[in-house]
Every structure is written in C-alpha cells, then in structure tokens.
C-alpha cells in the first residue's frame, strides 16, 4: 500500500466542474431571459426543463441539438432571425401588456454634495404602443434624413427609452445602429462617425456640444436629431449643411407620413458598438 502512487488530479479537471456548472447556469438564465422579454418559452425548450443535447455528426465539426427536437436549432423561435424579428414577435405575443416605463424628474436636490432626484410614478407604454412609436420615428427618419437600407445611424446618448425607440426604428429600415458611449468625448464620437461613414447622429441634447466641436471634421454627417432639451446656442454651432431636428418633431412628422418597414436579413449588420477600449481610439465591435 505504501508503494501505491496517489492519482493525480489535473487543474483542468478541477476547473471543468465549476465551468460545466456555470455553462448550465448561463444556458438556463438565457432561456429565462427570453421568456421574460417575450412572455413565451423558446420552442426548443425541453419538457420539464430538460436542456440535454447530443452530437449529431460523426466526423468534422461538432454540432449539437436539443435531445427533444428533431431538427437543428438555429434560432430561439421559428422565424426569428434578426433583432427586428424578435421585436415583432414580442409585440405579437404581448400586445397591450406594459413594455416600457418612464418617469419624470419632479425635483432635484443636493444632499451631502450628491444630486438626489425626486421621480414621478412610472408611465407605461404597451408593446403595441411602442411599436407605433417606433414606426412613427422610422417614417420620420426616412422623411427628414432620407434614411435608406444600409445606412449607418450613430446613437450618442445615455440608455433611455428614446435610445431603444431610435434603435428599433433604424433596424426596421434595414439600417445599422452605431453606438457611441455617452462617456466618450468629442474625439470618440468623431472617430465613430468617420470610421463608419454615418450620415445621421441621434444625440442626447446635453451631449450636442461634443458633437458640434468636431462636426466639421465629419464629412459624411448630414443630419442631427436630438433627444430631450437642447441649448439653442449648441444648435447654432452646427456647421452649415448639417440639418437639425428634435426627435419628438421627427416622430410627429412620421406619424403623418407613414412608411412601410424594410425588414433586415440575418446577413445584415445590426450594430457596431464603440467602447472606450483600453488604449488609443475607441474600438468598434
């Protein structure tokens, strides 16, 4: 017994246990997230929460499918191949259920050197209502900026309801969203506009001064749409040849002049995201 060698446990074997468990947790979490967003479980979800899968090829690339489904699964729900498809599916399933909520700022106070906001109760918009607002904004962008399939639209703003409305409106016309973090300064937004050749920037009103500082360097930029309040002096600093409109006015015009959606395909580019990166200019991914 004394000569018997102790079996070795490789580090990879130890790591495999938590990684396996984590992959299962993430997989279940993604399924639950889908159900929360759409109110419907993925069509390939196994009975009783069984997520088992098995290899369906004998050689070459390893391809897996759910053990309870007879064909390979490529999308969460049949017919959903793009972000636009997922949005349309969610609307069809949820209709008049609440989709987005927003609150007004009632008061702003400084407490111990920190800004404290007093907010109103939520005002909810249903899935159907959101779809209508998206359609109005899409039509407005077509009318104001001549938006057409394949165009790039920069969204330069904090996360908010208008951000999502603008993104869905862009998707509905087979165009690409270019996200530029609100924390990036003039150089960051200039880099995003120039590298993608974007013709339109949807910008938070409070960030417009960053854009006007570099707008002359962005030869492709022709239209600016602002969200929320915007200072008139900031608008006045936009170079000649760049048209400006408020997002609310663009949507109102679109409501009067509707256009049909142009659904994107799975091969179209949906989003180019510019982050702060680690060094140098922001990275588009």
- Does one domain contain both 46 and 145? no
Print the domain residue range for 66.
11-78
Q: Is residue 211 part of a domain?
A: yes
pLDDT at 9 over 50: no
- Does one domain contain both 198 and 260? yes
pLDDT in tens, 17-62: 344 444 444 555 555 666 666 665 554 444 444 444 444 444 555 5
- Burial (CB < 10 A; 0-12, 13-18, 19+), residue 141, is buried
Which of 165, 143, 166, 170 has its CA nearest to residue 253?
A: 143
- Does one domain contain both 139 and 52? no
Q: Is residue 242 part of a domain?
A: yes
Q: Is residue 187 part of a domain?
A: yes
Return the structure tokens found at 91. Answer: 């609307």
Q: How far is CA 104 from the centre of its chain?
A: 23
- Does one domain contain both 146 and 280? yes
- Does one domain contain both 67 and 155? no
Last residue of a domain, one of 51, 78, 105: 78
* Dist CA 281 CA 272 (whole Å): 15
Q: Which residue has the higher pLDDT, 245 or 16?
A: 245
- Does one domain contain both 178 and 264? yes
Helices (H), 146-221: 161-171, 186-196, 208-212
* CB 272, CB 285: distance < 8 Å: yes
* Dist CA 64 CA 56 (whole Å): 6
pLDDT in tens, 213-227: 999 999 999 999 999
* CB 39, CB 33: distance < 8 Å: no
* Dist CA 215 CA 138 (whole Å): 24
Dihedrals φ, ψ of 157, to 5°? -165, 165
The residue behind tokens 């409070």 is: 206
Please tell me the pTM assigned to this model.
0.73
Q: Is residue 219 part of a domain?
A: yes
* Dist CA 169 CA 166 (whole Å): 5
Number of domains composing the chain: 2
201 pLDDT band (50/70/90 cuts)? very high
């Amino acid at each position: 017994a004394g000569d018997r060698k102790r079996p070795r446990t490789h580090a990879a074997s130890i790591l495999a246990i938590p990684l396996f468990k984590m992959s299962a947790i993430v997989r279940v979490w993604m399924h639950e997230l889908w159900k929360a967003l759409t109110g419907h479980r993925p069509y390939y979800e196994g009975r009783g929460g069984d997520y088992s899968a098995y290899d369906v090829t004998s050689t070459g690339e390893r391809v897996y499918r759910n053990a309870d489904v007879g064909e390979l699964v490529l999308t969460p729900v049949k017919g959903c191949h793009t972000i636009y498809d997922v949005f349309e599916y969610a609307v069809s399933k949820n209709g008049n259920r609440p989709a987005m909520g927003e609150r007004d700022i009632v008061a702003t106070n400084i407490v111990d050197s920190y800004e404290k906001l007093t907010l109103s109760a939520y005002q909810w918009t249903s899935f159907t209502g959101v779809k209508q607002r998206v359609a109005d904004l899409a039509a407005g962008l077509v009318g104001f900026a001549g938006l057409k399939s394949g165009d790039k639209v920069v969204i330069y703003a904090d996360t908010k309801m208008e951000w999502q409305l603008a993104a869905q409106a862009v998707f509905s016309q087979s165009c690409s969203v270019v996200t530029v973090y609100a924390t990036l300064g003039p150089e960051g937004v200039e880099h995003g506009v120039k590298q993608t050749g974007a013709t339109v920037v949807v910008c938070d009103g409070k960030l417009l001064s960053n854009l006007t500082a570099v707008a002359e360097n962005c030869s492709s930029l022709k239209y600016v749409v602002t969200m929320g309040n915007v200072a008139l002096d900031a608008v006045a600093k936009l170079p000649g040849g760049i048209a400006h409109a408020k997002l609310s006015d663009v949507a109102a015009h679109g409501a009067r002049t509707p256009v049909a959606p142009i659904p994107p395909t799975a091969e179209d580019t949906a989003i180019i995201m510019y982050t702060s990166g680690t060094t140098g200019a922001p990275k588009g991914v």
